Amino acid sequence: MKAEKEIRASLINTIMTYARGTQQENAQIRAGLEAKNDSELQDILANAAIEQTLAQKDKLFQALAERDAAAFEYDQEHHQPKRDAEAKARLEQDQRTFQDAAKTLRSFGLTEANFNLIREVLGTGFSVHQIDQLIQANGIRLSPASTEEQNEWQKEAIEEYNKQLLKLADTDPLAFRKLVRLEGAQMAARAQGQQQEQQVRIRTEKDQAYGFEPLPEVDSYGRALDSLYFKKLSNTNYQAFKIAVRRFGAAQINERLRRGIK
């Protein structure tokens, strides 16, 4: 009997540890507990323990939420500006690299779609060489440059080249004169080659107008009808050479012979 009373008193005392009222309110709670049987007291104790656990979890969750909110605010205030500045710097650098690649390679236009696609494939911090390699490997399809862009790049390239020439003229006049003579000779050679090509084209058109057949690259036996072939033919079988001239015209034969002149 005594043991039962001690157990009952222990139950009530344990339940009272969860009470958070005033002294008068706690006295009323204790009086109410005294009226309960042991089974009811055990249920009340179990519910009190559960409620306290839930309350503790709520406090913990609230503390974690407040901590995360404070950490986010601190990050936004102290770290986000730095990240934004770094992202802006990367974007500006990528845009400069993209523009340099477009002017250098001249195989795609300065469109936002091209820029975004390159960035998507290569990531940030790419180089002109990486863009070139990607295009060469057919790893990307970009829209071509417009005529206006091509003309502008050509103009800029000429202006830059002229600046370099003027700089060379000031710093190394001898090298400048050599370069000018070399470029003059190259331009003359190109002009001569273009003139010869034009003359051959005119003669070929006249030959075709007279009904001469187009001269193929190889004959029916698969032999190359090149400079060596016609040189050998003119020396070893002049009659066959004349037949070829009458068949294909002198202009086409001469052009084929000219190809062998280095």
How far is 79 from 75, CA to CA, in rounded Å?
Answer: 5
Do residues 148 and 218 share a domain? no
Residue 104, C-beta contacts closer than 8 angstroms, at least 6 positions apart: 128
Do residues 194 and 230 share a domain? yes
Residue 83 falls within a domain, yes or no?
no
Length of the chain: 262
Residue 162 falls within a domain, yes or no?
yes
Final residue before a domain boundary, out of 75, 109, 139? 75
Residue 215 falls within a domain, yes or no?
yes
Do residues 215 and 150 share a domain? no
Residue 36 falls within a domain, yes or no?
yes
pLDDT on residue 257: 82
How far is 198 from 19, CA to CA, in rounded Å?
Answer: 110
Residue 246 falls within a domain, yes or no?
yes
Do residues 66 and 94 share a domain? no
How far is 213 from 232, CA to CA, in rounded Å?
Answer: 21
Residue 15 falls within a domain, yes or no?
yes
Do residues 48 and 17 share a domain? yes
Count of CB atoms within 10 A of residue 41's CB? 19
Residue 80 falls within a domain, yes or no?
no
Place of tokens 């830059």: 160
Contact 198, 190 (CB under 8 A): no
How do the pLDDT tens digits run along the chain, 262 residues long? 667 777 777 777 787 777 777 888 878 878 887 777 878 877 887 787 787 777 778 777 887 877 777 777 766 776 778 888 888 999 999 999 999 999 999 889 999 999 999 999 999 999 999 999 998 888 788 999 999 988 888 888 888 878 887 787 778 778 767 766 777 677 666 766 666 677 666 666 666 666 678 888 888 888 888 888 888 888 888 888 888 888 887 778 888 887 765 4
Do residues 155 and 204 share a domain? no
Range of the domain at 155: 88-169
Of 121, 84, 114, 120, nearest to 99 by C-alpha is 114
For residue 118, what are the CA distances in angstroms to 114, 143, 146, 150? 6, 12, 18, 20
How far is 140 from 57, CA to CA, in rounded Å?
Answer: 54
Do residues 96 and 165 share a domain? yes
Strand partners, 224: 218
How far is 240 from 56, CA to CA, in rounded Å?
Answer: 111
How far is 195 from 174, CA to CA, in rounded Å?
Answer: 32
Do residues 147 and 210 share a domain? no
Residue 52 falls within a domain, yes or no?
yes
Residue 116, C-beta contacts closer than 8 angstroms, at least 6 positions apart: none
Q: DSSP state, 226?
A: S
Contact 15, 44 (CB under 8 A): yes
Final residue before a domain boundary, out of 75, 107, 127? 75
Domains in the chain: how many in total? 3
Residue 84, C-beta contacts closer than 8 angstroms, at least 6 positions apart: none
Final residue before a domain boundary, out of 169, 185, 213? 169
Do residues 203 and 250 share a domain? yes
Do residues 180 and 254 share a domain? yes
Do residues 188 and 249 share a domain? yes
Do residues 221 and 157 share a domain? no
Residue 227 structure tokens: 């400079």
